[in-house]
A and B are shown apart, each in its own frame.
Chain A
Amino acid sequence: NSKVIQTPRYLVKGQGQKAKMRCIPEKGHPVVFWYQQNKNNEFKFLINFQNQEVLQQIDMTEKRFSAECPSNSPCSLEIQSSEAGDSALYLCASSLGGRANTGQLYFGEGSKLTVL
């Protein structure tokens, strides 16, 4: 079973509504990623953090999407105004970081967003 915990597993929103997803990374993992997996199973990178600091993010994340990883609290990804095209599985992953652990991501089971 995944040690990266994502909640909720499913959420349904109307267009224009906020949608918020949370992620508890694996214990001791300072690096957290958010990916969007669409209905064709394609992955799109959204943002990553090391501890509370943003490392990289795409333009989409900078506009309608917001994300944070506060200390001693779950990480979160929020869509301010949901659109139909946002319907997807949102995957959180964590990593130990460092060159030796490059690319070794531990994924949660995801939060499936449906925008009506």
Chain B
Amino acid sequence: GDSVTQTEGLVTLTKGLPVMLNCTYQTTYSPFLFWYVQHLNEAPKLLLKSSTDNKRTEHQGFYATLHKSSSSFHLQKSSVQLSDSALYFCALSEGSFNKLTFGAGTRLAVCP
């Protein structure tokens, strides 16, 4: 079945530094990839999405590029802020009404 792997459980950074959160996936279908962010005691929210190979997608300073050749969709930001501290989930869908398969999540902690 479908699976999503996020290798980092916790990433701790000083504000202003760049970050990359890893995401790889496995599916036999043409994938739709997503990044969701969940701040403490809040609902998860969609941050980025892509189904187009090798095209960068950006939102709120974050960006990611879907690479089908390596089955990856890494999340990046050039300069993290304190408000970026949250849980980040990579997720995969194969089509219209199908469920999202989530990775285990990466907690990003940004320090002053």
- Name which residue of chain A comes closest to B99, CB basis: A45
Known: A91-B44, A103-B93. A33 touches B99 (CB 8 A): yes
**How many B residues have CB within 8 A of the partner chain?**
26
What's the minimum C-beta distance from A60 to chain B, rounded to whole angstroms?
A: 14
In the complex, the answer to whether B49 meets A103 with C-beta atoms within 8 Å is yes
In the complex, the answer to whether A42 meets B43 with C-beta atoms within 8 Å is no
The reply on A114 being an interface residue by CB < 8 A is: no
Q: What is the bound-complex CA distance between A99 and B49, given in angstroms?
A: 13
Mark contacts of A93-115 with chain B using CB atoms, 8 A cut-off: 1 yes-contact digit, 0 otherwise.
00101110011111111100000
Mark contacts of A21-48 with chain B using CB atoms, 8 A cut-off: 1 yes-contact digit, 0 otherwise.
0000000000101000000111101001
In the complex, the answer to whether B43 meets A107 with C-beta atoms within 8 Å is yes
The reply on B25 being an interface residue by CB < 8 A is: no
Q: Which of B15-23, B77-85, B100-108 contacts A (4 or more CB under 8 A)?
A: B100-108
Contacts of B69-105 to chain A: CB distance below 8 A: 87, 89, 91, 93, 95-102, 104-105
Contacts of B25-81 to chain A: CB distance below 8 A: 32, 34, 38, 41-46, 49, 51
In the complex, the answer to whether B49 meets A108 with C-beta atoms within 8 Å is no
